[in-house]
Amino acid sequence: MPARRVAVIGTGYVGLTTGACLASLGHVVVCADADPHKVERLREAQVDILEPGLPETVRDALDADRLDFTGDTAAAVAEAEVVFLCLPTPMGAGGAADLAAVEAVAAQIRDVLPPGCVVVNKSTVPVGTCERVAALLGRDDVAVVSNPEFLREGRAVQDFLHPDRIVIGSADRDAARQVADLYAALDAPLVLTDAASAELTKYAANFFLAMKLSFANNLATVCERFGADIADVTEGIGRDPRIGSAFLRPGPGWGGSCLPKDTHALLTVCDLAGVDFPLLRATIETNVAHQRQLVDRVAAACGRAEDGSLHGVRLALYGLTFKAGTSDLRDSPALSVARLLRERGAELTAYDPALREERPDLSDLVELVDDPVRAAEGAAACLVLTEWPELRDLDWAAIAARMAGHEVHDFRNLLDPDRLARAGLSWQGIGRADAPTRVA
């Protein structure tokens, strides 16, 4: 297929990945962003998002003159054949998605869009947003299409270039085909549908993943009660192709930039539509209850089981980002657990390998340090909250020497219990009654 002229509005995680990857497929792409400092850095291939392969993809596209960045949104869309809206849709009042950024850009570009242009909602938006954007544009000669993203942080470039499906929704099949043609070089199943179905597909996918995680966390508690091993149980059920092994690892709850806001947004629109969705509500409530249960466990281990207070108790946290391989802290379950600990009065010191150079201001919550051994100074217990592989190879003997206590609460089941025992530490995972004796 011939190269198309594409504009991408927004250079966040989704927008930058979309723009750079479309350019890598041979299209000519202009990405617009309201932050002039960010635009200048991106023009120099300075990518501030920690995402494997993304800096190289941006640099290669810039060198090939297929990618450019601008702060002028009107100029970006003036000659575009396809315009992607990759804008933030954070959780708003009452849990609904906040569409202010999408609506503002629609009003900004409506008079400068070329006739025949196709506007694509790439942002995660509620059902009916395509119709809303079309009404705001007020252009009979401009079609609006839904094309939700299914990108995993830490694998975004890989997921874009090797997708397991491409979903495109619109009542205008010609416009939908124009968007599909952008992906012609990719070998992936294409789902062509209406806009409402495409919009709902994204929310339904994230809800299902959140549901599997809540299930795994609840199942871990069942395993502990009956002396079963969560790793073996999830392997046993995950090998059933009807279930699958993905998203069955227990942890400190689910979070990130998508699952919390999307589950709440779906629940909100269902409530407004008069649709009862108890499974969705239970999925959210289970996540919150699970995190409180983990904090209760820490309090009990510190001898505070009666009142649950952690006043004066120092704890070391290992990992704050919502998952390994990213520096993203948005709705991180690690931070959710940290807030619950602080509410109980705990004093927190944290180490995260992704936050050694990029030091966000978390001073109201934790003391962030760049030395994992220093993080353990005077700690009654250590908590592993993010599944960074490098945490396995820390000097746990040196950490033990700095601690006041000896407990390690491994809420990712990441560490080797025997190695910790040799360092003089007591390991406690999730869904494991004890450090298990494995059968060879």
Helical segments of 302-392, H only: 333-343, 372-375
> Is 22 in contact with 60 (CB distance < 8 Å)?
no
Location of structure tokens 């992704």: 354
Location of structure tokens 């966040």: 12
Is 258 a residue of the active site?
Answer: yes
The closest of 170, 98, 167 to 134, measured between CA atoms, is 170
Q: What's CA 230's distance to the chain center, in Å?
A: 24
Q: Distance between CA atoms of 159 and 152, rounded to whole angstroms?
A: 7
> Is 179 in contact with 120 (CB distance < 8 Å)?
yes
> Is 384 in contact with 319 (CB distance < 8 Å)?
yes
Ranges of beta strands (E only) in 33-116 are: 67-70, 82-85
Catalytic residue among 21, 117, 223, 258: 258
Tokens representing 171? 């009542």
Question: Strands 82-85, 166-169: parallel, antiparallel or unpaired by DSSP?
Answer: unpaired
Residues 6+ apart with CB under 8 A from 399: 316, 372, 373, 376, 382, 423, 425
Count CA atoms closer than 13 A to 182's CA, side-chain side: 29
**In terms of residues, how long is the chain?**
440
Active site residues: 258
